[in-house]
Amino acid sequence: MSMGDFINIQPSELKFPVESRKQSSCSMQLVNKTDQFIAFKVKTTNPKKYSVRPNAGIVLPNSVCNVTVTMQAQKDVPPDMQCRDKFLVQSAVAPNGSTNKDVTQEMFNREDGKVVNEFKLRVIYIPANPPSPVPEGDEEGNSPRSSSAEEEIRKSALSEAAWAAVSKLNEEKASAIQQNKKLQEELELLRKQTRHGQGARVSTIVVLFCLLLGILLGYFIKK
């Protein structure tokens, strides 16, 4: 984000992961793309809540200065995750060869037409532990891993049920074959018995017929 002709600041917002009773930090970079020594100073609307290191200093020509902002541990996390705190970064041209120790408040006073650039940054709270993304269409919020495990269990159960059904069908088939074989044996035995009974009946009829025929022949011969 441009800050006049002096320095650029990145990022344009300070984002802090917020977790109850834990401090958090973020950083910003001050980029000096000029051939001049640039003095800077960082201010905040809530100085007791934040620690800035360094809060003032010199950015050398064509170089970068890293600034770390630490938010002290908060007792409670705002339910709406909103924050009204703001930061202000001031910058001005410093004498060549200046060091961090040479930076004073007077450098940022607008006197005698002195140019002082200012840039405001707002504070944004973000969840310290964002929830894992939920697969689309999963109403119960199951993770992909648990869904995969449940799918494997279901497939295993289906495989066992299919195997049990096949085993039962094989047993029933074997039983049917055995019963069919037994019925065939009984039918063959019945056929043999029927044939034997019919043969005995025919033999008896023949004997009786021959006896009757002999009696009749004897009767006629005697006459």
If phi > 0 it is left, if psi is from -120 to 50 it is alpha, else beta; for residue 4 that is left
Residues of the chain with pLDDT under 70: 1-4, 130-164, 166-167, 170, 174, 176, 180, 183, 194-204, 206-207, 210, 214, 216-223
Question: pTM of the full predicted structure?
Answer: 0.57
Residue 105, SS3 per DSSP: helix
The reported pLDDT for the residue numbered 188 is 77
The reported pLDDT for the residue numbered 52 is 97
**Cβ neighbours of residue 58 under 8 Å, at least 6 residues apart?**
37, 38, 39, 40, 65, 94, 98, 99, 100, 102, 103
The reported pLDDT for the residue numbered 161 is 66
**Tokens matching residue 149:** 């495990």
Report whether 107 contacts 61 (CB < 8 A): no
Question: What is the full DSSP assignment across 57-92?
Answer: EEEPTTEEEEEEEEEPPPSS--TT-----EEEEEEE
Q: What is the CATH number of domain 2-127?
A: 2.60.40.10
The reported pLDDT for the residue numbered 1 is 40
The reported pLDDT for the residue numbered 43 is 97
Please write the tens of the pLDDT for every residue from 107-137.
Answer: 999 887 889 999 999 999 998 876 666 555 5
The reported pLDDT for the residue numbered 26 is 96
Q: How far apart are CA 221 and CA 177, in angstroms?
A: 66
